[in-house]
């Protein structure tokens, strides 16, 4: 099978010739730039700085030579601009934790009195910083820039500033990027943006110079209970814009895309959830259903839902509102045991992730621990298809390269024993 055939077979809940693997096609299935650099060195690839294509989490671009060395099957299509609102272009060298990397031209930073690294929306050093990397840290945290809230003047339009009709420049970018991704022979995962409802990574709007509306994380969570009509008005208008944009984007990229990252809103914690099932179905479900229905009626794309944590209680609702794929499949969270998930939902939902724990096993275990966990997860999740191997969320900085290699080798071992 080709890479794309392999992924499409798995998405159709049939067993492919081997388990398809993804690292790097989305902002939640990637690797920290230092890990990408370490793998390039391990495989003896050309020595050159790795591009930080997602600076918020400092994810490294997995380029074709490393994709081939790792045996990856999925290619990502990303937005033209980063989480900090500047384009991924004009690469310049930067030294980061002893590694030479490349960052976009407008990746502009300063250091504060505590030694923390500050980054700026659109690269504008005259604007208040929107991200902070603590001294010695490995990725940025969002800086909350919440204006005082005047209930009498609170306007849903303020929380819709980032949701605009797709521009001609963005359509041209997606058209070119999708064509290039299809030409690789890998399955294509698209990240178009604008379709996440209440994603807490996006609420503070690190890409805007002067965000208005509700931008504090705690205030937003409280608003989902105390200002539910306000949130509904945001989601309703956002979904209208999203549908218009999806129609325009589909006109540009067509069937060159196989799956689309639709939403990264997290609903689970390690042991519980951020809301009840009833709240999910009343506040979020209708808008997810609206987008999923349009996509399934007008395109061949599969839809990808990311949510960390203990989300077993929501999975039936995820399926009912039309999601085809669940990621990251956090098996360490309460109620997320692999055998149960596969038995209860594996014929209706594709598990994209769950292959190895990035909180404990991969960063802190031995290579033998990694091998054992990977082989066990592959055995459970691969039965009958419906599984794309990836770690549970992004591979974090500090993960030993021997463990990354053990993970890759274990997947190859499992595939070789089929």
Task: Walk along the chain (418 residues) in steps of 10 and give the mean pLDDT of each run.
Answer: 98 98 98 98 97 98 98 98 98 97 98 98 98 98 95 95 97 98 98 97 97 97 97 98 98 98 97 96 98 98 98 98 98 98 98 98 98 98 98 98 98 90
Which neighbouring-strand residues pair with 78?
Answer: none
Q: Give dist(CA 272, CA 177) in Å, integer.
A: 38
- The pLDDT, as a whole number, for residue 418 is 64
Inter-CA distances, 35 with 47, 66, 99, 359, 417, Å = 14, 12, 10, 15, 28
Q: Is the dihedral of CA 198, 199, 201, 207 positive or negative?
A: negative
- The pLDDT, as a whole number, for residue 401 is 98
Question: Using alpha carbons only, how large is the chain's radius of gyration in Å?
Answer: 21
Q: Which one, of 71, 63, 91, lies nearest residue 20 by Cα?
A: 71
**Which domains, and CATH codes, for the chain?**
3-31+145-416 (3.20.20.210)
Q: Give dist(CA 205, CA 236) in Å, integer.
A: 19
10 Å Cβ neighbour count for 165?
10
Residue 307: partners with Cβ closer than 8 Å, 6 or more residues away? 264, 265, 266, 267, 268, 314, 326, 327
Per-residue pLDDT reduced to its tens digit, 166-219: 999 999 999 999 999 999 999 999 999 999 999 999 999 999 999 999 999 999
- The pLDDT, as a whole number, for residue 417 is 76
290 φψ region: left (φ > 0), alpha (ψ -120 to 50), beta (else)? alpha
10 Å Cβ neighbour count for 252?
18
Residues 354/328, Cβ–Cβ less than 8 Å: yes
Residues 6/20, Cβ–Cβ less than 8 Å: yes
Per-residue pLDDT reduced to its tens digit, 271-310: 999 999 999 999 999 999 999 999 999 999 999 999 999 9
Residues 204/145, Cβ–Cβ less than 8 Å: yes
């Amino acid at each position: 099978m080709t890479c794309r055939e392999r992924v499409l077979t798995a998405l159709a809940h049939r067993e492919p010739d081997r388990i398809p693997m993804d690292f790097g096609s989305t902002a939640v299935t990637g690797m920290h730039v230092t890990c990408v650099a370490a793998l390039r060195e391990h495989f003896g690839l050309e020595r050159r700085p790795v591009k930080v294509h997602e600076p918020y989490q400092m994810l490294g671009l997995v380029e074709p030579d490393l994709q081939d060395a790792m045996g990856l099957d999925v290619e990502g299509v990303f937005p033209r601009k980063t989480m900090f609102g500047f384009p991924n272009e004009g690469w310049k060298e930067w030294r980061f934790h002893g590694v030479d990397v490349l960052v976009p031209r407008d990746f502009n930073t300063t250091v504060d009195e505590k030694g923390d690294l500050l980054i700026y929306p659109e690269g504008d050093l005259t604007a208040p910083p929107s991200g902070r990397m603590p001294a010695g840290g490995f990725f940025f945290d969002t800086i909350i820039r919440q204006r005082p809230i005047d209930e009498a003047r609170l306007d849903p339009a303020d929380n819709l500033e980032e949701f605009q009709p797709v521009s001609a420049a963005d359509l041209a970018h997606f058209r070119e990027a999708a064509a290039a991704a299809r030409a690789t022979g890998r399955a294509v995962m698209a990240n178009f943006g604008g379709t996440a409802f209440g994603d807490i990574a996006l609420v503070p709007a690190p890409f805007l110079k002067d965000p208005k509306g509700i931008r504090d994380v705690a205030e937003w969570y409280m608003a989902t209970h105390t200002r539910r009509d306000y949130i509904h008005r945001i989601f309703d208008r956002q979904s209208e814009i999203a549908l218009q944009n999806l129609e325009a984007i589909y006109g540009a990229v067509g069937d060159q895309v196989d799956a689309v990252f639709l939403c990264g809103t997290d609903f689970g914690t390690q042991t519980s959830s951020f809301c009840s099932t009833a709240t999910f179905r009343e506040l979020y479900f209708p808008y997810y259903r609206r987008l999923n229905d349009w996509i399934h009626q007008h395109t061949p794309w599969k839809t990808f839902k990311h949510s960390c944590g203990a989300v077993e209680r929501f999975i039936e609702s995820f399926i009912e509102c039309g999601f085809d794929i669940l990621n990251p499949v956090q098996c360490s969270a309460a109620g997320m045991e692999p055998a149960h998930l596969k038995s209860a939902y594996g014929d209706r939902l594709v598990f994209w992730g769950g292959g190895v724990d990035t909180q404990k096993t991969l960063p802190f275990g031995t290579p033998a621990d990694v091998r054992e966990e990977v082989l066990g997860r592959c055995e459970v999740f691969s039965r009958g298809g419906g599984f794309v191997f990836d770690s549970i969320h992004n591979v974090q900085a500090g993960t030993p390269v021997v463990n990354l290699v053990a993970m890759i080798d274990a997947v190859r071992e499992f595939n070789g024993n089929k």
